[in-house]
Amino acid sequence: MAVFLSANTHTEFTYGGTAVSTVVKLRLRDQCYLEILSPLAGVRLPSPETRISLRWQWAQTLWQQEAVVERVDLSEAPLLSVVLQGEPQAEENRRTRRYQVALPLVFTTGRLGLKKVLTETEDVSVEGLRCQVPKPFAEGSPVDMTISLRGASVRIRGQVLRCAAQEAQDMATMAVRFVQTDTREFQMLRAYLESLP
């Protein structure tokens, strides 16, 4: 059974080699309003009638659906109105294989990036990671993190997908999606994960 887009689903759309992070603000029958989360500096948004590819994750599966841009609104909260094409298609699960590996992880927070939250990963994939944090992060917020691999550390930018407090423990479980995947450091992380059995 296909998993259709709904309000508050975090998505990414791609076109011409550019990837833009969004969240679904409103879903009508064949139309979707996407709020742009990626910083607009240096990003060229698609013009009306441009064909884009939407991707989102549900459970352990990545879904993809084609769409055509109807309108671009560059107000304070930039929005894209798109017309959905066809049915959502599941992508290969091996792209999102989750590795159950505990890697040291540091989040840099605060206005000047001076506060550090130390934890470790519970699982990692090329799409993102899951971990425990002592204090909940706001869902949708950007995060900078450093992940320690064998003999190297990589700095990667991400976005909080979910963060739920655990009543039994004084911790919150957080899921983070990687949003900066075109860097040398991200490629180091990918190579590390692909080297795991």
Instruction: Tell me: pLDDT of 110 over 80.
Output: no
Query: Could you check whether 10-93 and 97-195 share the same CATH topology?
Result: no
Instruction: Tell me: pLDDT of 128 over 60.
Output: yes
| Phi, psi (deg, nearest 5) at residue 184 | -65, -35
Average pLDDT over residues 87-114: 76
Instruction: Tell me: pLDDT of 45 over 90.
Output: no
pTM flag (> 0.75): no
Instruction: Tell me: pLDDT of 60 over 90.
Output: no
CATH 2.30.110.10 corresponds to the domain 10-93 = yes
Distance CA(91)–CA(102), nearest Å, equals 26
Residue 158 contacts residue 145 (beta carbons within 8 Å): yes
What is the structure's pLDDT at 171?
Answer: 84
What is the structure's pLDDT at 85?
Answer: 93
Query: What SS3 state is found at 106?
Result: strand
Q: Which two tokens stand for residue 28?
A: 């009508």
Q: Look at 129 and 162; give whichever has higher pLDDT.
A: 129
Task: Return the domain boundaries, the chain.
Answer: 10-93, 97-195
Q: Which CATH number is 97-195 given?
A: 2.40.10.220
What is the structure's pLDDT at 94?
Answer: 45
Residue 34 contacts residue 80 (beta carbons within 8 Å): yes
